[in-house]
Structure 1
Amino acid sequence: MKNSDTFYNFDSLKENFFFNSELELRTTLSNFLIEDIGTGDITSNLLIPQEKTSSGTMVCKNDDKGRTIIASGLAEAKMIFEICDCDVTQLVKDGSVISKGTEVMSISGSARSILKAERTALNIVMRMSGISTKTRQFVDKLGDLSQFVRIASTRKTAPGLRYFDKKAVVLGGGIAHRKRMDQLILIKDNHIAVVGSVKKAIELAKSAFGDKRKIECEVVNLDGIVDAINSGADIVMLDNFTPEMVRHSLEKIREFGLRDRVIIEISGGINYDNIYDYASSRPDVISIGSLTHSVKSIDYSLEISS
């Protein structure tokens, strides 16, 4: 059976995950700061002398209520403070399990600079930690099945935040799926409606790219699965199937001797309450849009001590 990690070539925590260089990432984070600061922090500039220095600690304030919290976005927050000429020590590694009261970062430098960077840094950490934490909840729900079934994100990310959203999924134990539309041919229902059939759509894709691009095809029934596999799809996405439909379809393609030729992805209508039912049929990937489009942030604060 094809391995979903190596097949998608997910190496999502490298520096080039989205950006070609650290400079590109710094530029993006600088633009986030510009969006927040505008022409200047008039409140801090009014109240705080330019020469005043301070120090502070970023602390997790979330009431975990028994759930695992995953710290995420700390590397990016550190860079934001450094862009503002602060001295930063990251106390916790991204992807670590933390709890309420955990100190994740210490910052020192100009008081104005710390306050200038504070909200942008916290926003990144809160959002990314929320995504990582939610991803880990889904992974943990699978138990031993997580050895065989991977949780993936989708392109349902906030514009401008895809790097951060998808990196957070990876830090939570998931996989990123495609980062952009140019990385994978994904034939969806509307493509098939225009072209006319699964077989014709895949043939057109292969005639243009051959084996240079992986092909994923979305299907809505067993016949579509068989057509997609026989036409040469690398990945078949079972869209809006019920758990019973997934189980029946996978049993059938095993009977037909087709299971080992393809990665099976499940998508649509999957939530925390029903994911185990889907995973029990042992698809390769379950993609969940709510990991990134319905984010519940993890609460952090910056506590300045002087």
Structure 2
Amino acid sequence: MSSLELPPTDATLPPIPTEHGNLGHLLPVTYKRTIADWLTEDCPSFDYGGFVVGNDTKTATLYGKTEGVLAGVPFVDEIFQQLGCSVEWHLKEGQPFSPSTSGGKVKIATVTGPVRNLLQGERLALNILARCSGIATQSRKVLVLARKAGYTGRIAGTRKTTPGFRVVEKYGMLVGGVDQHRYDLSSMVMLKDNHIWARSGRIEEAVTAARSVIGYTGKIEVEVDSVEDAKRAMLSGADVVMLDNFAGDELKVAAKGLKEWMREENKTNVILECSGGLTEGNIGGYLCNEVDVYSTSSIHQSTQHVDYSLKIDH
């Protein structure tokens, strides 16, 4: 089994989204306008290289040059569609690949169209694939390690994303198999330390104010740094309570104690989350199943890109 392939699972574990449908169907229609803007940004006036190569129909091969999980297919399809080209994929999105077993590079796709248009879309397509696949790859690595350690909850990516590129980065998390947490400020009410401090530390008042506007479909999450504040948040009506920056052993003790208290107080419907401190290196000793969700930025911030190239066939 590849290091990026998930170990066998059972029905109690969260499903991997790519197993249940085309993730491209999640994308808002606005992503097509964003692609058009990015193409314009890269060629705002004359395309001198395009003049050199002309308009003959050619094919080009997309190669994967480093190990990774393929992610970003809908974005690449849209880039080349807008340029009058077509893409034939040889791997499925979410599929891991390793050049070390394929003579140094893996054939990912074949792109066909006017040669100047192939080259006009080349760099934009490669940049998106590299970043999106890098996040999917790191997400998959962390998820595989979590499953091997016996953790059955969710790993989630945070909102610490690149402005203007969030849809690509959040999409990569989903392809990698992790939860994207909230997409933006409108996705869920999340009362962090600054929100609570702005209400003079009154958690109950902050939750009540949020509940007055969120409506019956929305959830409220409260970030806390102590067990007592976690209990206050739950008693105030929070749907999710995040234990922020608890140390490994301290977290396990706190989570176990809170779960016992939640059963006694009939608060078992509240989701217990932990944020901060999770890395690829400490995951085995850090995770515990009393925590329902581990949210981390380690799967998308400063993540190594996957290396791709696009070569005109000749």
- TM-score w.r.t. structure 1 length? 0.88
Structure 1 alignment gaps of length 5 or more: none
Aligned match of 1:204: 209
The correspondence for 1:156, drawn from 137, 149, 160, is 160
Mark the CA change 1:156 to 1:29 in structure 2 (over 3 Å): closer, same or farther: same
The yes-or-no answer on 1:25 pairing with 2:24 is: no
C-alpha distance in 2, partners of 1:52/1:192? 62
Deviation, 1:82, is 1.4
The root-mean-square deviation of aligned C-alpha atoms, in Å, is: 2.2
| Contact map agreement 1:56 1:305 (CA 8 A) in 2 | yes
Deviation, 1:279, is 1.5
Aligned match of 2:306: 298
C-alpha distance in 2, partners of 1:195/1:90? 53
Deviation, 1:146, is 6.3
| Contact map agreement 2:256 2:290 (CA 8 A) in 1 | no
The correspondence for 2:277, drawn from 269, 274, 277, is 269
SS of match in other structure, 1:237: strand
Q: Provide Cα deviations, 1:139-161, integer angstroms capped at 9, x if missing partner.
A: 01112556622111111111111
The yes-or-no answer on 1:224 pairing with 2:232 is: no
Aligned match of 1:239: 244
- The residue type paired with residue 36 of structure 2 is S
C-alpha distance in 1, partners of 2:214/2:167? 27
Alignment of 1:70-149 (within 5 A): 70-100=69-99, 101-144=105-148, 148-149=152-153
- The residue type paired with residue 236 of structure 1 is V
C-alpha distance in 2, partners of 1:43/1:14? 34
C-alpha distance in 2, partners of 1:255/1:151? 23
Which segment drifts farther, 294-303 or 210-219? Answer: 210-219
| Contact map agreement 1:243 1:278 (CA 8 A) in 2 | yes
C-alpha distance in 2, partners of 1:212/1:109? 47
Deviation, 1:13, is 6.0
C-alpha distance in 1, partners of 2:71/2:23? 15
| Contact map agreement 1:4 1:284 (CA 8 A) in 2 | no
SS of match in other structure, 1:160: coil
| Contact map agreement 1:188 1:217 (CA 8 A) in 2 | yes
C-alpha distance in 1, partners of 2:81/2:150? 37
| Contact map agreement 2:142 2:299 (CA 8 A) in 1 | no
Aligned match of 2:55: 51
Structure 2 alignment gaps of length 5 or more: 1-11, 100-104
Q: Provide Cα deviations, 1:133-184, integer angstroms capped at 9, x if missing partner.
A: 0001100111255662211111111111111101100100101111111120
